[in-house]
Chain A
Amino acid sequence: TQLLEQSPQFLSIQEGENLTVYCNSSSVFSSLQWYRQEPGEGPVLLVTVVTGGEVKKLKRLTFQFGDARKDSSLHITAAQPGDTGLYLCAGENYGGSQGNLIFGKGTKLSVKP
């Protein structure tokens, strides 16, 4: 069974601080996605990384896919209250069922003004 472990589970920081969220597995994924979910809403895709070692930037968010395609990280610079939400990583493996996603349990981020 493929598993994605996310850490930390909860993170509460002050506005302006930096943070990193991790997503780890013992399995290799063909691609890995990051979603953000706000309370009462569905997850929204932030980014997809597909190549080992790939780094993608989305404004203050930096996403990295591990060289072995087993892990990923999300770094937020100068966090703002608008970054508050649940961050989910999801891995896709073509060896699995029809390209279904395996989701981590999420990191709940709270950024205080």
Chain B
Amino acid sequence: NAGVTQTPKFRILKIGQSMTLQCAQDMNHNYMYWYRQDPGMGLKLIYYSVGAGITDKGEVPNGYNVSRSTTEDFPLRLELAAPSQTSVYFCASSYSTGWAGSYNEQFFGPGTRLTVL
């Protein structure tokens, strides 16, 4: 199993450009997540999905969009890149029933380092 894969690994964007960060998992996990990690700030949840066709906002969704058309893929779209979106982006997945006794243990991809100039 490849686990969680992310592309690209690095990207530099100009202000106002758009791009899609790709994320795929081959573990048949139902939950998928997008986080951003800024220096000294831990991980902040951008969007998450509990299954194909279902997405919801996390803590910092502004400036981003997601879709989940399949169980495996969860792309993150930046429409109008801004310098404040310079960060490292991590995709994660987990299997959870949402009930007691099912723990949301997450598997992370290697990250995409994005710089907006």
Query: Interface residues, chain A, CB within 8 Å of chain B?
Result: 9, 30-31, 33, 35, 40-45, 48, 50, 88, 90, 92, 94, 97-101, 103-106
Contact = CB atoms under 8 A, between A and B. Distances in A.
A101 B111 CA distance: 18
A92 B111 contact: no
Nearest to A1: B59
B53 interface: no
A105 B110 contact: no
B74 interface: no
B108 A100 contact: no
Interface residues of B, number: 28
Given A41-B111, A42-B111, A30 B41 contact: no
A55 B43 CA distance: 25
A64 to B, nearest CB: 17
Main secondary structure of the interface of A (DSSP, over half): loop
Given A45-B107, A88-B43, A100-B48, 6 more contacts: A42-B4, A42-B92, A43-B90, A43-B106, A90-B106, A105-B42
A98 B100 contact: no
A42 B107 CA distance: 9
Contacts of A9: 40
A101 B109 CA distance: 16
B50 interface: yes
B104 interface: yes
Interface string B87-116: 000101000101010111111111100000
Contact of B108 (A30, A43, A48, A105): A43
20 contacts: A31-B103, A33-B106, A42-B92, A48-B105, A50-B103, A92-B103, A92-B104, A94-B98, A97-B48, A98-B50, A98-B96, A99-B98, A100-B48, A100-B104, A101-B45, A101-B104, A103-B43, A103-B44, A104-B42, A106-B42
B106 A45 contact: yes
Contacts of A106: 42
Interface in B60-97: 90, 92, 96
